[in-house]
């Protein structure tokens, strides 16, 4: 089994309900066990135009799926929630990102792990630290170091 961390975010159509539903669907992913989920947090949107605030969380999974197999399952859940990929960083019903896949560093056409912008996003690092405060990134950087250097983004625990 590979320990993975998944970022969850939504800012449309009852975002907290979107995240709860996505978590329920993650329990249905084959060869995968949901080990935990952080609290939900609200954060300011990052992206174009006026958007509602986001609700974010991080889930911990153990999986036997490959990284891209897990990505396929997560994108299937996004699609079930009406995810439209029309505008980069635009408002969305559901966004599920593979943040970490074990200790692996991946850079494929479809997937970059660790997530390339997670160090800049307290709405990822804070919930991740709630689940795994002593976590170390694949490059050896402690999560707490990234968190201490991360800019604030109006983050509030729900």
Catalytic residues: 83, 92, 95, 97
Strand partners, 92: none
Closest CA to 50 of 90, 10, 14: 90
State the residue for tokens 């943040």: 99
HSE-CB of 22 using CA atoms within 13 angstroms:
33
What is the spatial distance between Cα 150 and Cα 119, in angstroms, rounded to a whole number?
7
What is the spatial distance between Cα 49 and Cα 22, in angstroms, rounded to a whole number?
26
Closest CA to 103 of 77, 67, 73: 67
């Amino acid at each position: 089994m590979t320990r993975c961390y998944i970022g969850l975010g939504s800012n449309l159509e009852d975002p907290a309900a979107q995240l709860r539903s996505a978590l329920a669907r993650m329990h249905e992913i084959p060869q995968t066990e949901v080990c935990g989920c952080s609290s939900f947090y609200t954060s300011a949107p990052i992206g174009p135009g006026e958007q509602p605030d986001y609700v974010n969380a991080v889930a911990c999974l153990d999986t036997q799926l490959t990284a891209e197999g897990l990505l396929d399952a997560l994108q299937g859940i996004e699609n079930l929630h009406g995810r439209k990929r029309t505008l980069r960083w635009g408002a969305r019903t559901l966004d599920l990102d593979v943040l970490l896949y074990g200790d692996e560093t991946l850079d494929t056409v479809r997937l970059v792990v660790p997530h390339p912008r997670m160090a800049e996003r307290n709405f990822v690092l804070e919930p991740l630290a709630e689940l795994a405060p002593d976590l170390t990134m694949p490059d050896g950087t402690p999560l707490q170091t990234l968190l201490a250097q991360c800019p604030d983004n109006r983050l509030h625990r729900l």
